[in-house]
Structure 1
Amino acid sequence: MKDEQLPPVRSVSPEAGLASVPAVKQYLRSAETYGIDYAPLLTQAGISPDVLNDNNQWVPASALEKLLSLLIPASGDPCFGLHTSAHISYDMYCIQGYINMNCANLREIWDKTPILEKIIGDMGYSTPIYGPEESSLRWDCNYTDPVVKRHITENILASWACYAREFLLPDRANEGPTQVCFTHSAPADPALLGEYDNIFGCEVLFDQPYNAITIDNGSLSYPITQANPAILSSLLDHATLILKELDKNRSFADQVKNLLRLMMNNGVPRREAIAEQLNMNSRTLQRKLKEEDTSYQLLLDELRFEMASHYLAKTNLTMESVAEKLGFAETRSFYRHFKNYSGQTAGEFRKQHQMEFSA
């Protein structure tokens, strides 16, 4: 994907939550297969058909929830969300989809997913959990309608599986996930369980404490053949601009912290680099952060601790690898930073959270 093909950065609604147009279209493509006239349903949900002509736009997440509450019963399909995964397309994930296709492997994709998924929408959030032999990507839904929550969760996990199989690792399509978990109960009709097997091809568990798709670490590290580091760098730069636009109604400190989180993939960015992304000089950035009773260094320390806590509690990365990911020149500097910030050693923290890690 060349630079001139990058989608423009659009102004977004001040709504607290958003859903991208491609994410909405996946459900509409599915609705068409059921013969549903969804035009009046869009009106009821408050979604303008004109907005759907531009894949670089968003709609309020509440509008998507309302739309799904109408589409699901209209379909008459108790597995509507699950079956909607058949309508996955490379553009459903917006620029994140292009980023995924240029990452080295699934592990790199999973590392970036919690940072980038806001571009697709605020329907929920992902958390990668890395184990010694298998790893999981968990997903928590932000919606409250229990029916919508069930269907959108099944769609998200099934779409992950279909997207990886079709676009990322087509030569490993027969391997798939090793286990899938859902927090909701199994369908009332046992015959429907075969639908889950058709999609996932593995053990599917219900009434679990989390929603997750689990794969073996061989698949996690298997190279994505079309990956291009140069294109990836360009796409990440553009994603930074989109995320900055999405965050413009958040506090200035949150905007800086989110930029730091995204740019930490290439080492710890200098304060000047963050200021440049926000179209200001370093002195203005310092002044605006001071007005919110914080600073660049405080935000960096806070983010490093958050990321360290995740790596220590939910991955099997060595201390040396954690230190390197957080931009510390020496592991002992990381040890000292973690102890000063948390009051306990990194080793003590990892041991304390070992049960959560193995869950």
Structure 2
Amino acid sequence: MVKHFRVHKSLRTRLEEAGAPVSAVLRRAGLPQDLFEQTRILLSTEELFALWRAIGEVSKDPAIGLRLATETRTERFPPMGIAALSTENFGAAIQHMARYKKLSAPEEILHEVDNGEWSIRFRWLLAVDVEPQVLIEHCFAWVLTIARHGSGTRLSPMRVELVQPRAHVKALERYFGCEVICGARHNAMVFRASDAASPFVTRNAELLDMLAPQFEEQLKQHAKEEEDSFLELVRGAIQQRLTGRRPTMGDIARDLHMSSRTFQRKLQNAGSGFQRILDEARHQMARYYLKNSVLELNEAAYLLGYEDANSFARAFRGWEGVPPGHWREAHRATAIT
């Protein structure tokens, strides 16, 4: 999972245009004053929430989140927004954004159709605190900006549902063009299911065909990074368990708080298997023990979960091509030299 949010540098320009002093916002958020000078602006969930809380506190406009999300000039949209506008309709745009959101943030766009209603929600995957109100309003306003700019109409949801109360409900209702309900179970925008088919006048199949392969490649790279991260997590959990006995798949699945079936499926998706990762973990630890300790071979075998030194020696010869004793002497001689 991507653990940081990429913040577009255009946010600084938008804040200045909205009359929110950038230096005051950054100071209130506890972020460096040169944040927007950085080549890539990456924030943790905690830092992102602090930034948006500060925007709400520093700005004199209670609806600042709406203002920062409103855009009418296509050239000022970020690449993912331009790609969304290039799709055939509103529903395709949301599907596109939901699929590729994971490329840039630990965040999900959830959307589902039920009984003729189409709800859209945002979920911050690593959030510990409650998400800032201004951030929620900004995200919903951004969705509406895509919908209206893409369709060329004043498309509006049926209602907007908010968990926390708002003092500026009337301003929200004027902006969204619908009822705003506070005290709801979830923060959600609810459209008519038929709105998903609203055609986009900004559709650009050629541009989308050009952008799609780039996004797909990024998505594949992201998936590979997730798989590598998971395998490293499994390897570490196995090494923690290598204390005199061979850990089982069930042991590691429990340590990682998942069922054995889910654990096995994730290993398969990553192109690996439990025995392979176990061997890799043992190999790594064996090299460490032989190179950095005075353990006898039978002691190392015990710590690695082998029944006896002979079993360990056979495994090690398979990894390195030489017996563990010879490997230790060779590497000790190299270290001395």
Alignment TM class, shorter chain as reference = 0.5 to 0.7
> Are 2:105 and 1:121 equivalent residues in the alignment?
yes
Relative to structure 1, the CA distance from residue 35 to residue 220 in structure 2 (aligned partners, 3 Å threshold; closer, same or farther) is closer
> Which digits, 9 at most, give the CA deviation of each residue in 1:236-271, with x for residues without a partner?
21012233444554224979xxxxxxxxxxxxxxxx
> Are 2:159 and 1:179 equivalent residues in the alignment?
yes
Relative to structure 1, the CA distance from residue 186 to residue 238 in structure 2 (aligned partners, 3 Å threshold; closer, same or farther) is same
Q: Is the 8 A contact 2:12 2:22 kept in 1?
A: no
**Which residue matches 1:219?**
195
Considering only aligned residues, what root-mean-square deviation do their CA atoms show, in Å?
3.5
Unaligned runs of 5+ in 1: 1-14, 256-285, 295-359
- Percentage of matched positions with identical amino acids: 17
AA aligned to 1:234 is M
> Are 2:4 and 1:18 equivalent residues in the alignment?
yes
**Which residue matches 1:82?**
66
For these two proteins, the number of residue pairs brought into alignment is 237
**Which residue matches 1:298?**
none
1:160-199 pair list within 5 angstroms: 160-165=143-148, 167-170=149-152, 172-173=153-154, 175-187=155-167, 192-199=168-175
**Which residue matches 1:342?**
none
Q: How far, CA to CA, are the matches of 1:133 and 1:232 in structure 2? A: 29
> Are 2:239 and 1:239 equivalent residues in the alignment?
no
> Which digits, 9 at most, give the CA deviation of each residue in 1:163-194, with x for residues without a partner?
321x2111x22x4211111122232xxxx222
Q: Is the 8 A contact 1:180 1:212 kept in 2?
A: yes
Shift, 1:132, TM fit: 4.8
**Which residue matches 1:50?**
37
Shift, 1:38, TM fit: 2.1
Q: How far, CA to CA, are the matches of 1:287 and 1:141 in structure 2? A: 24
Q: How far, CA to CA, are the matches of 2:137 and 2:143 in structure 1? A: 10
> Are 2:53 and 1:66 equivalent residues in the alignment?
no
**Which residue matches 1:289?**
271
TM-score (norm. length: structure 2) = 0.59
Secondary structure of the 2:122 match is strand
Residue from 23, 29, 32 that aligns with 2:14 = 29
> Which digits, 9 at most, give the CA deviation of each residue in 1:300-353, with x for residues without a partner?
xxxxxxxxxxxxxxxxxxxxxxxxxxxxxxxxxxxxxxxxxxxxxxxxxxxxxx
Relative to structure 1, the CA distance from residue 225 to residue 79 in structure 2 (aligned partners, 3 Å threshold; closer, same or farther) is closer
1:249-268 pair list within 5 angstroms: 249-252=225-228
Q: Is the 8 A contact 2:117 2:192 kept in 1?
A: yes
Q: How far, CA to CA, are the matches of 1:179 and 1:39 in structure 2? A: 34
**Which residue matches 2:114?**
131
Secondary structure of the 2:88 match is coil
Q: Is the 8 A contact 1:103 1:224 kept in 2?
A: yes
Relative to structure 1, the CA distance from residue 240 to residue 290 in structure 2 (aligned partners, 3 Å threshold; closer, same or farther) is same
Larger Rg: 2
Q: Is the 8 A contact 2:101 2:108 kept in 1?
A: yes
Q: How far, CA to CA, are the matches of 2:115 and 2:71 in structure 1? A: 33
Unaligned runs of 5+ in 2: 232-267, 277-337
Q: How far, CA to CA, are the matches of 2:122 and 2:25 in structure 1? A: 31
